[in-house]
């Protein structure tokens, strides 16, 4: 028996969906950590600071973030 998230349209592929859900949650956590690091930075508006923290925390270039991911980070910074 398999435990975890099992949407009705993927009854036989619950494992793949669970791996996707875990990966998404981890990415959201990294984006939140990135936003918190920016908020606590002495120069959060500095582009080089943003690029450095994004590379260190999220593991990608700032230009690789989607519009949605940028909005998530902005919400954390502004909260």
Kindly list the domain boundaries of the chain, sorted by start residue: 22-78
Count of C-beta atoms within a 10 Å radius of residue 54: 23
Kindly indicate the confidence band of residue 18, based on its pLDDT and cuts at 50, 70 and 90: confident
34 Cβ contact list (under 8 Å, min separation 6): 53, 54, 57, 58, 73, 76
Question: Which DSSP symbol is given to 41?
Answer: S
- pLDDT at position 19 is 81
Residue 20 has pLDDT above 80, yes or no: yes
- 61-77 tens-digit pLDDT: 999 999 999 999 999 99
- Reduced DSSP (H G I as helix, E B as strand, rest coil) percent helix, strand, coil of the chain, to 5: 75, 0, 25
């Amino acid at each position: 028996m398999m435990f975890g998230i099992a949407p009705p349209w993927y009854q036989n592929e619950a494992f793949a969906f669970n791996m996707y859900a875990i990966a998404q949650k981890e990415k959201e956590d990294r984006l939140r950590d990135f936003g918190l690091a920016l908020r606590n930075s002495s120069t959060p508006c500095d582009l080089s600071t943003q690029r450095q923290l994004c590379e260190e925390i999220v593991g990608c270039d700032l230009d690789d973030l989607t519009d949605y991911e940028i909005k998530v980070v902005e919400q954390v910074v502004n909260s």
